[in-house]
C-alpha cells in the first residue's frame, strides 16, 4: 500500500479556507432563502432547473442527476413542493417506474418572487468582494474541479440508478 500524499501547509490552509468559505456561503444562501422566500436552497435549485428545462418538465432521474441529489432526497423534496403547488408529478407512460416533474405556474411565480433576493445575496456575498480578475479565476478554477469530478460523479449516479432499477424490478 502506498503512502498518502499529505497536504503541504499551504495546501492545508487553502483546503480549510475553501471548505469554510463554501460552507459559510451555503449557510448564508440557505438562511436568505428561508427568511425571504420560505424555501430551502434545494427547492430553489429544483425550481431553477425545471424552469430552464424544455417545457418546464424533466424526468425525475434526470432531475436528480442535474441537481446532484439522491433519488430519495429528490423524491422527498418533490413531494413537499407538490404539496405547495409548485410542481406536479406525473407517471411515465412508457416506463411505469419512471416519473416526470412539471413546474407549475405557482412554482414559476415562487421562483420569480425568490430570485431577486437570492441573486442579491449571491452578488454581495460572492462577487462583490472579488475583483473582475478574481471572478475570472474563480470560474476557471471551478470549471477545472467540475471537469475533474464529473466522471466520478456520473459513474456514482449511474450505479445508484442501476441499483434502484434493480431493486424496483425485484431482482
User: What is the pLDDT averaged over residues 89-96?
Assistant: 82
DSSP structure class, residue 53? S
Q: How far is CA 117 from CA 9, 44, 114, 122, in A?
A: 38, 12, 6, 9
Q: What is the pLDDT of residues 7-27, one digit of tens each?
A: 999 999 999 999 999 999 999
Q: By residue range, what is the domain housing residue 148?
A: 131-171
CA distance 70 to 157: 8
Give 163's pLDDT tier (boundaries 50, 70, 90): low
Residue 40 has pLDDT above 70, yes or no: yes
Residue 161 has pLDDT above 70, yes or no: no
Same domain for 63 and 109, yes or no, is yes
User: Residue 74: CB partners within 8 Å, gap ≥ 6?
Assistant: 46, 60, 63, 64, 67
Residue 171 has pLDDT above 50, yes or no: no
Q: What is the CATH number of the domain that holds 41?
A: 1.10.10.10
Give 118's pLDDT tier (boundaries 50, 70, 90): very high
Same domain for 111 and 140, yes or no, is no
Element housing 90 (H / E): strand 87-91
* pLDDT cut 90: percent of the chain above it: 77
CA distance 16 to 75: 33
User: What is the pLDDT averaged over residues 101-119?
Assistant: 98
Number of compact structural domains in the chain: 2
Amino acid at each position: 500500500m502506498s503512502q498518502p500524499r499529505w497536504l503541504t501547509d499551504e495546501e492545508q490552509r487553502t483546503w480549510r479556507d475553501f471548505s469554510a468559505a463554501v460552507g459559510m456561503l451555503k449557510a448564508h444562501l440557505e438562511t436568505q432563502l428561508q427568511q425571504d422566500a420560505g424555501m430551502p436552497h434545494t427547492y430553489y435549485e429544483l425550481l431553477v432547473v425545471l424552469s430552464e428545462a424544455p417545457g418546464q418538465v424533466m424526468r425525475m432521474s434526470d432531475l436528480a442527476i442535474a441537481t446532484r441529489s439522491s433519488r430519495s432526497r429528490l423524491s422527498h423534496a418533490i413531494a413537499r413542493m407538490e404539496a405547495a403547488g409548485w410542481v406536479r408529478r406525473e407517471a411515465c407512460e412508457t416506463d411505469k417506474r419512471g416519473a416526470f416533474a412539471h413546474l407549475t405556474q405557482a412554482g414559476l411565480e415562487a421562483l420569480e418572487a425568490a430570485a431577486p433576493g437570492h441573486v442579491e445575496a449571491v452578488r454581495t456575498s460572492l462577487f462583490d468582494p472579488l475583483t473582475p480578475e478574481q471572478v475570472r479565476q474563480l470560474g476557471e478554477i471551478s470549471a477545472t474541479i467540475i471537469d475533474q469530478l464529473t466522471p466520478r460523479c456520473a459513474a456514482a449516479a449511474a450505479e445508484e440508478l442501476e441499483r434502484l432499477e434493480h431493486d424496483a424490478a425485484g431482482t
